[in-house]
Amino acid sequence: MKRTLFTILTAAVAMLFASCISSNEMASEYLENLPKAKDGEAAKIYVCLPMSVVHTNQNLNQIDNFFMLSERVQDSIIKANTKFLNLVDDKVFLQQFTDNLLYHLRRTGITVETVATAQQLPEAGPKTFILNIPQIEAEEFIKKSRSDFMEKNGTYYHYDYDLNGFSTNVWYLFGKNDSTGDVYYKNFETMDQFSGQVDNLQNKTATVHGKFKRIDINDVYRTAAVAGQKSAILFVEKIVNEYLVSKGRTDKYYIYRPVSNEIDEYGISAQNGKKRSFQKIDAK
């Protein structure tokens, strides 16, 4: 009887302690303990990296009947409408992504292992985390833009221009089976910037003085580096926030700061926090 009473009291104290600890403290303690061999084996992150880069030029979609044209004409059009993809070295691009991804994952102290194929991934578990990246895409595009204003008398002025853009797009799976598992997506963009001002207004005509800050190949590689860094950060946040939700802590979303290897409250609910995380691709 005494032993039963002691067990009940111990469980009650543990429950009371768990209810008193803040979500931030719970998240921090969880992340801190993952690399340690506590209650069994230490946690591991298994990563399957992309082996190639898909090149996509959205500018070609604006050309009518492009794929019906002769190969010679297509090549000429591609050359005229491509600013970055023909300069991208896939090896450098992948290296920028991979190095930043693995570095920021390892900031947690958790052991990170890479595998060559998805078939080599183990099954996901409480201390076995899977980050399978089946595809990465280098995409360039043009965004049609407009700067405009209206005078008090109702006269409308506008200036149209094109902005060159580039995006590194990444697809993710968080389980071993890439044929039935949920697929997630995230893109990381950079774009030209335009700034200008109206110098003169005469006869309902505006003279605009402006300048463009154009992106270059270094910005392109930078999107790959940022994609790797932020993919790692979001993956750690996914691990931590899913743990908190499993413990009934859904009040706030928590972000990961790799420089200090710390967890901080973001100020939004766990549900809303999903919007800043990986985007699930709905099956059609």
Q: Can you list the domains of the chain with their CATH numbers? A: 41-138+165-189+216-278 (3.30.160)
pLDDT digits (tens, 9 = 90+) for 69-112: 666 766 666 677 789 999 999 999 999 999 999 999 999 999 99
Give the number of other CB atoms < 10 A from CB of residue 175: 14
What span, in angstroms and rounded, lies between the C-alpha atoms of 236 and 225?
A: 17
Enter the tokens of residue 187: 């893109």
Q: Residues 141-157: what's their mean pLDDT?
A: 79
Q: Please, which pLDDT band fits residue 210 given cuts at 50, 70 and 90?
A: confident
- As to burial, measured by CB atoms within 10 angstroms (0-12 exposed, 13-18 middle, 19+ buried), residue 106 is middle
Q: What is the reported pLDDT for 224? A: 98
pLDDT above 70 (res 199): no
In 3D space, the residue among 82, 215, 64 whose CA is nearest the CA of residue 139 turns out to be: 82
What span, in angstroms and rounded, lies between the C-alpha atoms of 254 and 237?
A: 7
Q: Please, which pLDDT band fits residue 11 given cuts at 50, 70 and 90?
A: very low
Q: What is the reported pLDDT for 2? A: 47
Coil vs helix vs strand at 61? helix
Helix (H) or strand (E) holding 69: none
pTM for the model stands at 0.85
Q: What is the reported pLDDT for 203? A: 67
